[in-house]
């Protein structure tokens, strides 16, 4: 442990016992250094990020690799204490449970939210889930943090009537959830922490809901789930002390820095796994470690599909100390990608999570020493604004990548094998052609081929 880490450890050890503590802040609206602690879980220094999971597992990473080769402190899985045992997730890991995946899935207009339910994507299509069933289910599962069910429109413009409808539903669902928790009379320390969902509009446009948060359920809400940064612009003072968990889909590290500068404490980062699937090894640090201004901005990632890496014995990123970079080289990873070996994406996922760990550690250090704003400006000058474009083929599409396009959509994964000579099979399975059948019909049945 270095001197900086030692100072941070001392600061965390001296914190009060409440769930979330703000160590240092630059003002009412701005970046802040904090600490999220729950009984029996690893202390999460903020700003930080949650690893996004699919069915309770970080894509490409098995649980032994999760524990031994990454520093992931928290995940939002599809379950909790019983599921923790089922998926063999390490006990110190913070678990967050919500109804909406990140990034979300666009629901068809034929499956709208109602006053009592939301539309969710399941293995058998879109189905309604009642708000009461959700509240009952999450309390039984007992995750560390529950994201309250919200009517959060996605993919459609929000008019005044739609915002009013969402506000009314959120008030009703949150009050019912809080009442159910209080009626259960479970010990305060054993209950999951409840984060209220903020619809993606300004607080002024959902004033009745904000009044409910600051008055009726103020003692029952432990944090806020944010879906759009516009919700923080006029957030009332009574709610600013709460931890803010963002489901805002930042697409670049620049966007992460912007959201942290507006007061976000914990983020979910979809581009991390998207880069892994694209065969890109993330390559950026904060603060930017360039000693002088580069002639050209640095790239944010290395595309392992490029032929230049076919014989390269360099690590994925020079100087990186992650498992992938200390044990393997670029040529090996590119060979794995070309062979479609699962290990390619395992190594990239380990490296990319390590890169984000160091990125957030650097953010927290600059917040401690007061140089965050200056380093954000420097980072914008040193690095390109966008991640590299995808050039290669990713792994087979999994559930976390699924995007509904409507009825009759084709299969997401092409068949890996095709019949060598399917014409004979077609002929054997087809009925005999009629005497009036033309050449085109005979060819379609596999009876003959038209000679040219």
Binding residues: 320, 322, 325, 351
Contact 344, 336 (CB under 8 A): yes
Nearest to 72 by CA among 86, 54, 84, 90: 90
Measured distance CA(112)–CA(118) in Å, rounded: 7
How many Å separate Cα 67 from the centre of its chain? 19
Tell me the residue length of the chain.
Answer: 452
Numbered residues of the known binding site for Zn(2+): 320, 322, 325, 351
Residues 6+ away with beta carbon under 8 Å from 325 = 315, 316, 317, 351
Residues near 421 by Cβ (< 8 Å), separated by ≥ 6?
Answer: none
Q: Which residues contact 151 (CB under 8 A, 6 or more apart)?
A: 113, 118, 165, 166, 169, 170, 173, 199
CB within 8 A of 187, min separation 6: which ones? none
At residue 98's C-alpha, the angle toward residues 97 and 102, to 5°, is: 110
Encoded tokens for 24: 């240092």
> How many Cα atoms are found within 13 Å in the side-chain-facing hemisphere of 448?
11
Dihedral over Cα of 53, 57, 59, 62: its sign: positive
């Amino acid at each position: 442990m270095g001197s900086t880490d030692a100072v941070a450890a001392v600061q965390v050890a001296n914190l009060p016992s409440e769930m979330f503590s703000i160590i240092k802040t630059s003002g009412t609206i701005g970046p802040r250094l904090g600490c999220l602690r729950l009984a029996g879980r690893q202390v999460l220094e903020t700003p930080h990020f949650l690893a996004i999971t699919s069915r309770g597992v970080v894509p490409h990473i098995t649980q032994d690799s999760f524990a031994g080769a990454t520093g992931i402190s928290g995940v939002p899985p599809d379950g909790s204490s019983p599921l923790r045992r089922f998926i063999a997730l390490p006990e110190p890991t913070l678990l967050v449970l919500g109804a909406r995946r990140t990034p979300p899935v666009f629901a068809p207009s034929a499956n709208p939210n109602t006053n009592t339910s939301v539309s969710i994507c399941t293995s058998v299509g879109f189905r309604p889930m009642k708000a009461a069933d959700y509240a009952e289910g999450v309390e039984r599962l007992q995750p560390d943090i529950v994201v309250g069910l919200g009517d959060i429109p996605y993919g459609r413009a929000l008019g005044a009537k739609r915002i009013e409808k969402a506000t009314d539903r959120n008030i009703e669902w949150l009050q019912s959830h809080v009442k159910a928790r209080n009626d259960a009379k479970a010990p305060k320390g054993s209950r999951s922490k409840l984060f209220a969902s903020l619809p993606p509009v300004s607080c002024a446009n959902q004033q009745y809901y904000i009044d409910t948060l600051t008055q009726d359920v103020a003692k029952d809400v432990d944090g806020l789930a944010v879906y759009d940064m516009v919700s923080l612009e006029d957030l009332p003072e009574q709610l600013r002390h709460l931890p803010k968990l963002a489901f805002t889909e930042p697409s670049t590290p620049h966007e992460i820095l912007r959201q942290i500068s507006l007061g976000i404490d914990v983020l979910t980062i979809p581009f991390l796994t998207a880069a892994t699937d694209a065969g890109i090894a993330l390559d950026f640090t904060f603060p930017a470690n360039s000693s002088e201004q580069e002639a050209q901005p640095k790239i944010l990632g290395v595309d392992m599909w490029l032929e230049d890496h076919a014989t390269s014995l360099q690590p994925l990123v020079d100087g990186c100390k992650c498992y992938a970079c200390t044990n393997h080289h670029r040529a090996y990873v590119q060979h794995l990608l070309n062979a479609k070996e699962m290990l390619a994406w395992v190594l990239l996922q380990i490296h990319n999570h390590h890169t984000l760990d160091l990125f957030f550690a650097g953010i927290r250090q600059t917040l401690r020493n007061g140089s965050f704003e200056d380093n954000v400006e420097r980072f914008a000058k040193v690095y390109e604004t966008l991640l590299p474009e995808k050039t290669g083929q990713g792994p087979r599409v999994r559930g976390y990548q699924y995007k509904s396009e409507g009825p009759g959509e084709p299969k997401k994964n092409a068949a890996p094998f095709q019949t060598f000579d399917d014409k004979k099979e077609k002929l054997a399975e087809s009925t005999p052609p009629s005497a009036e059948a033309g050449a085109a019909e005979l060819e379609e049945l596999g009876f003959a081929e038209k000679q040219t």
